[in-house]
Chains A and B, each alone.
Chain A
Amino acid sequence: MTQKTIAGKTIELNDEGYMVDPSQWTREIAAEMAGEDGIVLTDKHYEVLEFLRASHSKGETLTIRKVGKSGIVDIKGLYQLFPGGPLKFSSKYAGIPKPASCV
């Protein structure tokens, strides 16, 4: 576990860079984390992040299939928003734990 200052706030991160406390999340933190990976967040990205945060707070197990059925973006679009890690990266920027699902 490490502490890091992101967007002017001190945030707790686990060894893989995921936020430990989702309630610390802000849009600015998401933008800065994504920026480090070379991704510029658009409104569509934020819609996905908000969906993931809402699902996570309800205790749901997240899958790309669920995001694909959310009406926000299809699975192909999700890959385009978060290249190389549609669920892994989006969960990271959404300030929720790394997904524990194989789908």
Chain B
Amino acid sequence: MTTNTEKPLKKVCIICSKGTIEDVYATLIMANGAVMEGIEAKVFFTFFGLDAITKKQMNRLKTATVGNPAMRAPGGLPFPTILGILPGVEAGVSAMMKSQMEKLDVPPVDEFLEMITAGGGEIYACKMAMDMFKLEKKDLWEEVKDVLTVGEFYAMCGGENTQIIFT
């Protein structure tokens, strides 16, 4: 006989390394979902994921319209990659993604981050990627808690029933 030894999740450490709408929202939805369930959440933005917490870029994220075979036109019609390179297509598709999410009451990036921090979630930026992209703390959203090395982030990921999630 087996007994159920599952223990509830206590903390999630989420790493976001990409800056498209869907990659960033996957991170934000998981982080927000965690704090709403009473699970501690720490989010580390690195590489292109930094766009999500950079004041200038955070509300201007885009969905890539090239090289994304799962993206179809409304009604499920195929969306040939060659259309994706036309001027304005990426902006149009991105605007549509955002309006569809707004209908589900999913907020813009800055408001979403505020919801996460309101629930006690913490937002961090990667030091190495900041150096690489020539970003400074003042370029980041005000509530970013700190700029960390990967080692410092790992140091926060200890404890029982903690999971690291890479998106």
A interface with B by C-beta (< 8 Å) = 61, 63-66, 68, 74-76, 79, 83-88, 101-103
Contact B104 A103 (CB under 8 A): yes
* A63 neighbours in B (Cβ, 8 Å): 105
Chain A, interface SS category: loop
B interface with A by C-beta (< 8 Å) = 29, 32-33, 35-38, 104-107, 111, 114-115, 118-120
Minimum CB distance partner of B32 in chain A = A103
* A84 neighbours in B (Cβ, 8 Å): 37-38
Given A75-B119, A86-B119 in contact, is the A64-B114 Cβ separation under 8 Å?
A: no
* B111 neighbours in A (Cβ, 8 Å): 65
**What separation, in Å, do the CA atoms of A68 and B116 have in the docked complex?**
13
**What separation, in Å, do the CA atoms of A31 and B5 have in the docked complex?**
33
* B35 neighbours in A (Cβ, 8 Å): 79
Contact A75 B114 (CB under 8 A): yes
**What separation, in Å, do the CA atoms of A89 and B39 have in the docked complex?**
14
* A61 neighbours in B (Cβ, 8 Å): 104-105
- Closest CB in chain B relative to A64 CB, distance in Å: 7
Contact B115 A64 (CB under 8 A): yes
Residue of A66, A83, A85 touching B105 (CB-CB under 8 A) = A66
Given A61-B105, A83-B38, A103-B104 in contact, is the A68-B115 Cβ separation under 8 Å?
A: yes
* B115 neighbours in A (Cβ, 8 Å): 64-65, 68, 75, 103
Contact B118 A102 (CB under 8 A): no
* B37 neighbours in A (Cβ, 8 Å): 84-85, 88
Contact B107 A85 (CB under 8 A): no
- Closest CB in chain A relative to B145 CB, distance in Å: 16
- Closest CB in chain A relative to B33 CB, distance in Å: 6
- Closest CB in chain B relative to A30 CB, distance in Å: 20
* B106 neighbours in A (Cβ, 8 Å): 103
- Closest CB in chain B relative to A42 CB, distance in Å: 19
Contact B36 A86 (CB under 8 A): yes
